[in-house]
A and B are shown apart, each in its own frame.
Chain A
Amino acid sequence: MRKRIQVLPKFQQHLYSLVLSVLCMAAAAGISSAYICASPGNSANVPLIFAFFLALISCCTTGYVYGVLCSLFSVLWLYIIDTRHSCHLDLSPAGYPVTILCMTAITLLLGSLTSSLAKQSASLAERERLLAEAEKEKIRANLLRAISHDLRTPLTGIIGNSQAYMDHHADLTEEEKLALMTNIFEDSSWLVNMVENLLSITRIRNDDMAISTSEESVEEVIGESLQRMQKRHPSCRIRARIPEELIMLPMDAILIEQVTINLLENALSHSGTDEPVELIVENHPEWVSFTVRDYGSGLPDSLLDHLFDGTDYSASHTADGQKGIGIGLVICKTIIDAHQGTLAGRNHGHGAEFTFTLPKKKGTYENKNTCSVSGRR
């Protein structure tokens, strides 16, 4: 309760506390008067009623002032009841200082307890936020590292090949010229893929990883991904299997297309085989799974634990000279995380297999997330 009112501005906090104190005291006074009128003989419980409302006030107001003031008021009211109705309360006039002391002590104790609780929970939330921030920072750093590494390689190729052409074009045979140009073309096509990947990431809002989703038909997204693959690699063989029924899923179609293309592209270029790649969509009650399966050499064990973190990657992938699947997978992971889905890679015995799932309804996690965001504003 106190945590919630601490969100309000200072002025509103005090206004809220004041109103609450007045209401509570009025309630206490009313109830106690009614109680005494109903059973004039039995007034031992009247201080208890006040004690209860004092506890409530000290729990729910800011600072100690309201609690202390209310305890003073309670004692005054008890005194009035005592003299007006001349009932036999258990407080003799000499006992008033004790009553005042007791009531003040209750309010102070409760007040300090709740405020320390509130402080604790605030520091906990702060720590959580810092942790999340650090995690995001880590992802960003990994991404940047992977990008700068992966960009440098094709750029070096382009510069080198074009320079060779310009410097020696008089001595080169037609075939050599063509080879240089082909290299430039391949490197720049690869750069285009990379840039498309990076651009797709900008569709994810940076601060809270939110994306704008709409209901899309799975077969259309898969269809277009395959069409683009066909355009890029006219000789590639991909077998797609999708459920008979029409599946509509909330997603950012461009991003999911990007994920599918990245996974297919990985499977084609890293499996080391000409066996067709399979793309299988399965409909489950709560989610839809998309599996890209190749029948090639599979994933090396050393990579299995670091598929999606972008770290420990450059070492192995410069060694075998393959151009980064690192960054593509990091981007896939980021995209699927933003959809509240899961992404996993494993070996299935005859090659590698990547599966991502997308939830059919927006996850509870995201609802919570958006609530806390709107609360902060």
Chain B
Amino acid sequence: MKTKIHVLLVEDDKSICSFITTSLSENGYRITCALTGKEGLSLAASLCPDVILLDLGLPDMDGCQVLMQVRTWSRMPVIVISARTKEQEKVHALDLGADDYVTKPFGTSELMARIRTSLRHSHINSPERIYKALDLEINFEKRLIFLRGEEIHLTQIEYQLLTLLAEYSGKVLTYRFIMNAIWGPYMDSNNQILRVNMANIRRKIEENPAQPQYVFTEIGIGYRMLENENI
């Protein structure tokens, strides 16, 4: 028998707890609730869940502190739950090592999709050889990109950017993470150059740059690429 995936929810609001518990157990997950940060930390250590859903606004401690403490001993996926207007908070949590975030208010299907994505990424041991979604295909080994079967030519930087996003497809990558990965830590914090390169990529792979299908912008946070169908 397949063991159920175990989710730990750290959230102080009872109503949110109850709806997440109901919908997750309906979908075949095992779920444990913690109402405070301390309780969450001890449960995370004793239960070793597959995923943690972490609310950032906890009564006893900051959600980011919980995240930092978990990250000192584990790489288990952490999905942050946060209010919409606080992009800074989300970016901070992502830079601290959170895998993803959902914004309140969120629907069950969105939450489910995020959990699946983060689980998939945590189980990948060897990097994918091929990315494929809709009409886009990236062959990492041969360094080739095809759109509707036709080869697309990207500059060196554009190629690096796209493959970085594809490697973490489905996950949001912060501006800082991308800048660090492509241009190194000594680039100044102005991410204009990143925007320009993204605009060029969009013009090469998207049909309408205003309605992208592959690379999505998360304003104030970073970019997210369409999930790889190949996993």
Contact of B208 among A199, A240, A248 (CB under 8 A): A240
| A192-B210 in contact (CB<8A) | no
> Shortest Cβ distance from B22 into chain A, in angstroms?
14
CA gap between A222 and B219 in the complex, in Å: 10
B85 near A226 (CB under 8 angstroms)? no
A259 to B205 Cα, complex, angstroms: 28
Closest to B217 in A: A220
Bound form: Cα–Cα A253–B87 in Å: 11
Choose among A196, A215, A240 the residue that contacts B211 (Cβ–Cβ < 8 A). A240
Nearest-CB distance from B120 to chain A (Å)? 21
Residues of B175-231 whose CB lies within 8 A of A: 192, 195-196, 198-199, 202-203, 208-212, 216-220
Q: Assess the A226–B210 pair: CB atoms within 8 A.
A: yes
Pairwise interchain contact A242-B85, C-beta atoms closer than 8 A: no
Determine if A128 is an interface residue (Cβ-Cβ < 8 Å): no
Tell me whether B149 is interfacial, beta carbon within 8 Å: no
B209:A224 contact, CB within 8 angstroms: no
Is A257 part of the contact surface with B, judged by Cβ < 8 Å?
yes
Q: How far is the CB of A277 from chain B (nearest CB, A)?
A: 13
What's the minimum C-beta distance from B98 to chain A, rounded to whole angstroms?
A: 20
A223 and B209 within 8 A (CB): yes
CB-CB under 8 A from A199, the residues of chain B are: 84-85
B127 in the interface (beta carbon within 8 A)? no
Per the bound structure, the CA–CA distance linking A241 and B210 in Å amounts to 7
Residues B85 and A246 in contact, CB atoms below 8 Å apart: no
Instruction: Determine whether A44 belongs to the interface, using a CB cutoff of 8 Å to chain B.
Output: no
- Check A242/B209 contact, CB under 8 A, given A219-B199, A248-B195: yes
Contact partner, A224, options B192, B195, B196, B216, Cβ 8 Å:
B216
Contact B196 A222 (CB under 8 A): no
Complex CA gap A219/B201 in Å reads 13
A248 touches B216 (CB 8 A): no
Contact A224 B217 (CB under 8 A): yes
C-beta contact mask, A176-220 vs B, less than 8 Å → 1, else 0?
000000000000000010001001101100000000000111011
The interface size of chain B toward A, counting residues with CB under 8 Å, comes to 21
A224 — which chain B residues lie within 8 A by C-beta?
Answer: 216-219
Contact of A200 with B208 in the complex, beta carbons under 8 Å: no
CB-CB under 8 A from B199, the residues of chain A are 217, 219, 246
Chain A residues near B217: list those with CB within 8 A: 220-221, 223-224
Binary interface profile of A, 243-274, with partner B (CB < 8 Å = 1, else 0)?
01010100001100100000000000000000
- How far apart sit A220 and B85, CA to CA, in the bound complex (Å)? 18
A281 CB–B CB distance under 8 Å = yes
Q: Is the CB of B212 within 8 A of A254?
A: no
Which B-chain residue is minimally distant from A202 (CB atoms)?
Answer: B85
Please indicate the chain B residues that have their CB under 8 angstroms from the CB of A202 in the complex.
85
- Residues of A within 8 Å of B198, CB to CB, are 217, 220
Interchain CB contact under 8 A, B210 and A217: no
User: Separation in Å of the B133 CB from the closest CB of chain A?
Assistant: 16
Are B210 and A257 in touch, CB under 8 angstroms?
Answer: no
Given the known interface contacts A200-B85, A203-B85, the answer about A223 and B192 at a Cβ–Cβ threshold of 8 Å is: no
**Chain B contacts of A248 at CB under 8 A?**
192, 195
Measured in the bound complex, the distance between the Cα atoms of B79 and A251 in whole Å is: 29
Residue on B nearest A245 in the bound complex, by CB: B199
Closest beta carbon of chain A to B207's beta carbon, Å: 11
B219 touches A253 (CB 8 A): yes
Residue from B203, B212, B219 within 8 A of A257 (CB atoms): B219
Report if A192-B192 is in contact (Cβ < 8 Å); known contacts: A199-B85, A223-B211, A246-B199.
no
Q: Is the CB of A219 within 8 A of B209?
A: yes
Is A227 positioned at the interface, with any CB of B under 8 Å from its CB? Answer: yes
Instruction: Identify which of B192, B202, B210 contacts A240 (C-beta below 8 A).
Output: B210
Task: Report A-chain residues with C-beta under 8 Å of the C-beta of B87.
Answer: 254
User: Given A223-B209, A226-B210, A246-B196: A254 and B220 within 8 A (CB)?
Assistant: yes
The complex places the Cα of A316 from the Cα of B70 at a distance, in Å, of 55
Q: Provided the pairs A217-B195, A248-B192 are in contact, do residues A223 and B210 lie with their beta carbons within 8 angstroms? A: yes
Contact A253/B220 with A215-B192, A219-B202 known, Cβ cut-off 8 Å: yes
Please provide the chain A residues from 135 to 176 with a CB less than 8 Å away from any CB of chain B in the complex.
none
8 nearest A-B pairs in the assembled complex, by CB-CB distance = A240-B210, A220-B217, A246-B199, A242-B210, A253-B219, A222-B210, A217-B195, A219-B209
In the complex, given contacts A196-B85, A217-B198, what are 9 additional A-B residue pairs having Cβ atoms less than 8 angstroms apart?
A203-B85, A219-B202, A220-B195, A220-B198, A221-B217, A226-B211, A238-B211, A244-B203, A248-B192
A binding-site residues for B, Cβ under 8 Å: 192, 196, 199-200, 202-203, 215-217, 219-224, 226-227, 238, 240-242, 244, 246, 248, 253-254, 257, 279, 281
18 contacts between A and B (CB under 8 A): A215-B192, A217-B195, A217-B199, A219-B199, A220-B198, A220-B217, A220-B219, A223-B212, A223-B216, A224-B217, A227-B212, A238-B211, A241-B210, A244-B203, A246-B196, A254-B87, A254-B220, A257-B219
